[in-house]
Structure 1
Amino acid sequence: MSKIAEDWFEFKGWKPYPFQRQCWKALAAGSSGLLNAPTGCGKTYAIWFGVLEHFLRHRATTKKKGLHCLWITPLRALSKEILLATTRVSDDLDLPYEIGLRTGDTAAAERARQKRKPPEALVTTPESVHLMLAQKGYADQFKNLEFVVIDEWHELMGSKRGVLVELALAVLKHINPALKIWGISATIGNIEEAREILLGAQWQQSALIRARIAKKTLIETILPDTLDKFPWAGHLGLKLAGKILPIIDQSNSTLLFTNTRSQAEIWYQHLLQLQPDLAGQIALHHGSLGEEIRQWVEEALHRGVLKAVVCTSSLDLGVDFRPVDTVIQVGSPKGVARFLQRAGRSGHHPGATSRIYFLPTHSLEILEGAALRYAAKEGKIESRIPYIRSFDVLIQFLVTLAVSDGFKAEPVYELIRQTYCYRSVTRAEFDACILMIIQGGRMLEAYDEFHKVVLEDGLYKVTDKRIALRHRLSIGAIVNDVMMQVKMLGGKYIGSVEESFISRLKPGDHFWFAGRNLELVMVKHLQAIVRSSNKKKGIVPSWMGGRLPLSSYLTEALRHKLQEARMGKREREIDFLQPLFAEQEKRSYMPAENELLLEKIQTKEGCHLFVYPFEGKFVHEGMAAIIAYRLGKIRPFSFSIAMNDYGFELLSDQDIPLDAALVQDLFNTTELSADITASINTTEMARKKFRDIAGIAGLVFQGYPGRQVKTRHLQANSGLFFKVFEDYDADNLLLRQAYEEVFDFQLEIVRMRAAFTRISTHRIVIREPGTLTPFAFPIFAEVFREKFSNESLEDRMNKIKAQLEKL
């Protein structure tokens, strides 16, 4: 055990866990590695004291100066938490070890001071590291760096921000081959692959330390009083809002997680309407709120002055709020890992029990409570799929190097090949990336704005200061719709909403944002100028990015629970849903785990074909298109398609023929790839994906701060490039990448193929009920969601449900 850790733990009255001792020992031995530990058990200190011990033994006794440790986190809020935790140790033990913070919020004067007189440790984000790599003489900043720690690596790994980390580590290892790299990760299904991606070629010689701590998590589903009054469809869950007020009252502090920012805004207002005396004790937190508001909420949580916070994934990660002892998840979390991560926000300290309530938003979703408990018990945790061959990030990285000190092609090619993401990149592909940055590839040579990099004496570099400035402003891999600042008439910044939302409003319209009713006064540049209003009505902004499908492990658990329900197994959620299952059996059929149910229903709208693979919305989207295409080969059909996480619907104005032989053929796996290409408009999907890729690669400049380019102009510009490449440069790397991302991440081709393979071995059950069934109704309701507001939708659905119950 390290001496300073021993002193500090004794000072705090704590006893180290075995995994913390293992980490200190591995760090003292000079190893790199990955720490896998549940949230709230002291994983930060497991790494931090090893770093400090190294500093006191080696650096403090030598003349080496400069940055000793770089600590990279995915969130600014988490950066501040790490800064507080590490500074606390230095202060308690009076250590000569300064820790600095560098994020997008760090003032220019402070960044300049850090460069002139660097602290011993710097807590930062992936984007800030790349901004440092874009500075002249960046190697001098990192030449004495000994440690890099990547916090919440599981969160970064499944995104292009993880690719930014891989590239940064490759550069830092090149500067200092003895660099020690440590990752900190929650439990994921592919932890060994996570270590390989993080550490590269040396991963097999590294340490993998697992915290064998049985984190106790209590999972309870909030049930309505009676099933017959609970909706068969919906997504807000407000019907059960009254049920959570006693939970909030009995808890010290509660986090109420929603899946979208608009849902969070609605829940915040609804809770205040139900219990007005919560005013001042309840707050709202999501990524579109201003930094000042979010900081206030986080500090109030730390101090224990808030009874509840309605939030989104903005509070998913390891910020330590000890007063929080209860978590409520509204609606399906869509994944087991996400659910357990949120559960860990409560009881966020060693030995504490995490308590989470699952609040379903419609009847069938109640079963997900049992499925989540089963998946957590069985350890069915999702893997994070890494990005590979992300040429948009590579092109951005090459310009970053060219903006700083310039680069030579051969050494950089060898450097990027050391990363997991780019290890399969050929020299010809690398040269194509070089061509993109010096003349925009083969198609854009005539346009000077794409001549960003020049070759001088074997060195690729940027000589135009305007190009360098625009590139530094564009560094990063987070791509959103253009955001408009929301400001009060007096100038106070509240937060940001998407331009597409504000464009639908006119001056005098009211909307809810940041927990208050606002009236739009005017739109000036990319600012929405507003004033407070006493109106009780207003629309709620909607943001992109809330469209999540059920994960493969959660769908597997759900099918397992349906099987148990069919077999009559007793469980709280299953017992409560017995009337629904009985109604499904009465009207149609309850499928077994090795069966696929198809329902053909005639209504005044036409012939409905409902299919229930229980594979998640993204997979159903692709499956529906393929089945429609295969039916269309029999005779011409026109279909409208609807889907949810449990199944999909094909609706036609003519009868859909079904017999056992035909249906079995609909789900075979032969010629599946060809049918995917023929049935799904992958070109249009790739066109939309290309806009993000073009932005990251720097083909499309998104504007200066406060003067961003309008969304429609970005779409037009990227669409023009897409068409040019599609027509004249079919092998363009960015074009190919757009299609690959559509197949891998949007259509989930691997999962869809696995679903077809699974179903091809199942017995297919065909039923023709006379009316909509409990399984069919939620999918049927998806069509109306596009046609009615939330209030009208609820009224409409209740009327339809009442009519069905009479039949």
Structure 2
Amino acid sequence: MNREELFKIAEAWFQQQNWKPFPFQTQTWTAFLQGKNGLLNAPTGSGKTYALWLPIVLNYIKENPNYKTKHKPGLKAIWITPLRALSVEIKQAAEKVASDLGTQMTVGIRSGDTSASERTKQKTKMPDLLITTPESLQLLLATKEYNKIFANCSAIVIDEWHELLGTKRGVQMELALSRLKNISPNLRIWGISATIGNLELAQEVLLGHNSEALENSVLIKAKINKKITVKSIIPEKMETFPWRGHMGLHLIKEVAKIVKQSKTTLIFTNTRSQCELWFQALLDKYPEFAGEMAMHHGSIARETRIWIENAIKNEDLKVVVCTSSLDLGVDFAPVETIIQVGGPKGVARFLQRAGRSGHQPGKESVIYFLATHAMELIEASALKKAAENTIVEDRVPYLDSYDVLIQYLNTLAVSDGFFPDEIFKEIKTTFCYQNISADNWQWILNFITLGSQSLQRYDEYKKVEIEEDGLFKINSRKIAMQHRMQIGTIVSDAVLNVKFLKGGYIGSIEESFVSKLQAGDTFIFGGKKLEFYAIKDMKVLVRKADVKKVAKTVSWQGGRMSFSAQMSELLREELYHLENNPLSIEAQALKPIFIRQKRESIVPNADQFLIEMFKTREGFHSIFYPFEGRFVHEALASILSYRISLLSPITFSLAYNDYGFELLSDQEIDMQAVFDNNLFTTSYVHDDLQKSLNATEMARRKFRDIAIVAGLVFTGMPGKVVKTKHLQSGSQLLFEVFRDYEPDNLLLQQAYIETFEHQLEEGRLLKALERIDKQEIVVKRCEKPTPFSFPIITDRLREKLSSESLAERIAKMTASYLKE
């Protein structure tokens, strides 16, 4: 069959669905059938799934003219999804195309949720079309004679590539693709990505640095004019002193009004704790929502999540309070309205969530922005402009992730073994390892065979054996089993399942939260009040608690996100120009705050850097406003406090949020002396960071994750997970051994590099200092805290007080400042 005939089949199928193919879909079909690789840039809900499933099936029809009567079994295409939750839906789309076009192609899923019996079946007979995750693909590479599984595979599609890029899971994919290219000669590699700032770089990372695959590739952009309408929820009365920590619950009435007017609503929160709080608050205040409302986040039982997803599709639910667990992929045509609670910290995340509404080609997306405090209205205004002009973040790919490379080499050694020269050539084509030197490669080979220089006495680290023909192979069954169980790069706090005493699984919570509970304590999880009974066999046993009992809300690590670089820039621009935009409803709402801010201090413009100083009963406050995001401010606060302490002995308490940071001391800072000593210089930043932040301690914590990925520590058997504190102490011991006896150890060096580049964002920090250096520094001595400083001060108080006593304390502070 020629391409014209194949296109007729595809177009006829589209007509049967009462659809018309978009230009980007036909472009993708053409490029795929021409044997090209590519990256497809298309928004959520635009039909990107059919842009690639159709040509995959058409290609099979082209190569098998008797496809209706004779079926050739064997793996033909792989679809990678970053979320297991999306697998069922992708499978349904593939099955529809394969059966409607009269092929006998089978479709299967292989992920952590796949049963052991299904996996065993797949060993002897793989489905034609396989939907899997990056981790499960690695597990297939750890299978004996894996090259036979992939030999006739003609396509691999990596969905939501923007979610994997800039993570170690993305590096995992780069390595897997470098191998598959060589064992599947006719393989076409395709990525699907929502909009990101650096699409060309995303394409290069996907297809390989200077590779043949990249040369024979296309970048296809879907030109779909998706209208996104952003509406700010403005409170009736604007607080003059805005504060963080009340989760936006003061606007619950406005939210309920929107929910009642819409068929279906998703309420997005930034953290799982916030999700639990909002669900509970809505239920308490509006009991009529019971039965029509659900909660969805990553720690809730999978069966419950799937039920909720189907209930949204079938319009059985009116409102779902959720987190990023519903950001991606799942196709909810009927969702009418999206509410975002609090700043989403990134433009891409906000636009992705907006796209959940009107999740169909050509439909308008409506998203309401609920500011949890007044300053977030500046973010709302900035996000409106970003939505209008489609301004989104770049994703920065990882370089030289030696822990992932060590895991990958052990994966190859577990299956059929590998020859180093062959694999070295392959990994050099990946973006991540394009600059790996022969010396570092030799170090890694020594590491997996001899256990690195300082561990040579311990046989447990000598995992890989070198056979007579030079093949590197793992022959120990125990090492092979432990390795297969630990494949992956997602490292988090140990997670324990929560079950009722009489049976019934609710979900999973982190060990760090459970360890603080005592028998009889009450906590809210999954929308239920639960009483903690005991931990048994790594399970948290609970029973229903008395409704009147005061309950804690479950907290998770990593709950605090920071602005992306793009979001910081948009926020600064918006702040500098917002006052001069009288038509903006956000500017109108913020007017009383800006008037008060100007009375006490100034609203800085693009050429000014504001520092406010005032005294309270707590001491002397110095507040700096770089508007660069929480993580950069944490590093900046540490550097500046360290530099100031070098001039004269002084102790500080530090507080920071996305807008600025505070140095609080019992003595006043001599600002003039500080400026005379070049406080904001970019010189010695790295050294000052190391000295001020105890970078060694941060690197030690980062090393724990690296040690797990590289297989230096074992996380335990199913049901017998090693406790976090034991993993921490085991990895700390290794960290100290390497630091004292082997300072050039690549994994040790990686821990420091990741601490500075990814955690402290040293590059952004330097740019911020360069910008501040060019601005006029305005020091304002204020009588009392200003509206801009109030959220930073209250953020520090929140660490010490419960939410009730914090609210009382803030009410007193606000009354006192307004009276003055």
1:535 to partner: Cα distance? 2.1
Q: 2:480 aligns with which of 468, 473, 492?
A: 468
1:728 to partner: Cα distance? 0.9
Q: 1:515 aligns with which of 505, 524, 527?
A: 527
TM-score where L is the length of structure 2:
0.96
Specify the alignment match of 2:654 in structure 1.
Answer: 641
**8 Å contact from structure 1 (residues 224, 230) kept in 2:** no
Note the 1:573-652 alignment, pairs <5 A: 573-652=586-665
Specify the alignment match of 1:172 in structure 2.
Answer: 180
Q: CA RMSD, aligned part only? A: 1.5
Per-residue Cα deviation, 1:27-83 (whole angstroms, up to 9, x for no partner):
111100000011101011111111111010014659864100000000011122111
How far apart in 2 are the matches of 1:58 and 1:651?
72
How far apart in 1 are the matches of 2:15 and 2:117?
39
How far apart in 2 are the matches of 1:804 and 1:78?
51
How far apart in 1 are the matches of 2:47 and 2:175?
28
Note the 1:85-484 alignment, pairs <5 A: 85-200=93-208, 201=211, 202-228=213-239, 231-234=242-245, 236-457=247-468, 458-484=470-496
1:230 to partner: Cα distance? 7.7
Q: 1:791 aligns with which of 791, 804, 818?
A: 804
Residue 759, structure 1, aligned to residue 764, structure 2: no
Per-residue Cα deviation, 1:355-379 (whole angstroms, up to 9, x for no partner):
1011111111121110111122233
**8 Å contact from structure 1 (residues 329, 359) kept in 2:** yes
Residue 501, structure 1, aligned to residue 494, structure 2: no
Match for 1:120: what amino acid?
D
> Which 4+ residue blocks in structure 1 deviate beyond 6 angstroms?
none
Match for 1:44: what amino acid?
T
How far apart in 1 are the matches of 2:323 and 2:64?
42
**8 Å contact from structure 1 (residues 235, 331) kept in 2:** no
Per-residue Cα deviation, 1:682-702 (whole angstroms, up to 9, x for no partner):
111101111111111111111
How far apart in 2 are the matches of 1:275 and 1:569?
36
Specify the alignment match of 2:54 in structure 1.
Answer: 49
1:605 to partner: Cα distance? 1.7
**8 Å contact from structure 2 (residues 655, 663) kept in 1:** yes
Per-residue Cα deviation, 1:614-645 (whole angstroms, up to 9, x for no partner):
01011111111111122122212211111000
Match for 1:494: what amino acid?
I
How far apart in 2 are the matches of 1:417 and 1:348?
40
How far apart in 2 are the matches of 1:54 and 1:61?
13
Match for 1:603: what amino acid?
T
Match for 2:446: what amino acid?
L
**8 Å contact from structure 1 (residues 781, 797) kept in 2:** yes
Specify the alignment match of 2:791 in structure 1.
Answer: 778
Specify the alignment match of 1:8 in structure 2.
Answer: 13
Corresponding residue SS for 2:738: helix
Match for 2:416: what amino acid?
D
**8 Å contact from structure 2 (residues 241, 790) kept in 1:** no
1:421 to partner: Cα distance? 0.7
**8 Å contact from structure 2 (residues 99, 105) kept in 1:** no
Specify the alignment match of 1:533 in structure 2.
Answer: 545
Q: 1:655 aligns with which of 653, 664, 668?
A: 668
1:469 to partner: Cα distance? 0.8
1:463 to partner: Cα distance? 1.1
How far apart in 1 are the matches of 2:545 and 2:428?
57
1:544 to partner: Cα distance? 1.1
Per-residue Cα deviation, 1:483-533 (whole angstroms, up to 9, x for no partner):
111011122221110111111111111111111011112111311111122
**8 Å contact from structure 2 (residues 156, 188) kept in 1:** yes
Corresponding residue SS for 1:443: helix
Corresponding residue SS for 2:472: strand
Q: 2:733 aligns with which of 720, 732, 735?
A: 720
Specify the alignment match of 1:743 in structure 2.
Answer: 756
1:115 to partner: Cα distance? 2.2
**8 Å contact from structure 1 (residues 598, 764) kept in 2:** yes
Match for 1:437: what amino acid?
I
Any gaps of 5 or more consecutive residues in structure 1? none
Match for 2:626: what amino acid?
P
Q: 2:708 aligns with which of 688, 695, 698?
A: 695
How far apart in 1 are the matches of 2:816 and 2:36?
68
Match for 2:553: what amino acid?
V
Match for 2:51: what amino acid?
A
**8 Å contact from structure 1 (residues 4, 49) kept in 2:** no
1:659 to partner: Cα distance? 2.4
Match for 2:482: what amino acid?
R
Match for 1:560: what amino acid?
E
How far apart in 1 are the matches of 2:788 and 2:802?
23
How far apart in 2 are the matches of 1:87 and 1:214?
29
Higher mean displacement: 778-787 or 82-91: 82-91
TM-score where L is the length of structure 1:
0.98
**8 Å contact from structure 2 (residues 245, 803) kept in 1:** no
How far apart in 1 are the matches of 2:553 and 2:390?
38
Distance 1:145 1:235, change over 3 A: farther
**8 Å contact from structure 2 (residues 57, 97) kept in 1:** no
How far apart in 2 are the matches of 1:65 and 1:167?
27
1:658 to partner: Cα distance? 1.3
Any gaps of 5 or more consecutive residues in structure 2? none
Specify the alignment match of 1:768 in structure 2.
Answer: 781
Residue 679, structure 1, aligned to residue 692, structure 2: yes
Corresponding residue SS for 1:665: coil
1:435 to partner: Cα distance? 2.0
1:287 to partner: Cα distance? 0.6
How far apart in 2 are the matches of 1:432 and 1:235?
52
Corresponding residue SS for 1:659: helix
How far apart in 1 are the matches of 2:215 and 2:648?
57
1:177 to partner: Cα distance? 3.0
Match for 1:45: what amino acid?
Y
Higher mean displacement: 446-455 or 88-97: 88-97
How far apart in 1 are the matches of 2:241 and 2:622?
25
Match for 2:295: what amino acid?
L
How far apart in 1 are the matches of 2:772 and 2:583?
27
Match for 2:628: what amino acid?
E
How far apart in 2 are the matches of 1:10 and 1:568?
48
**8 Å contact from structure 2 (residues 153, 186) kept in 1:** no
How far apart in 2 are the matches of 1:235 and 1:259?
14
**8 Å contact from structure 2 (residues 608, 777) kept in 1:** yes
Corresponding residue SS for 2:339: strand
1:661 to partner: Cα distance? 7.6
Q: How many residues align?
A: 807
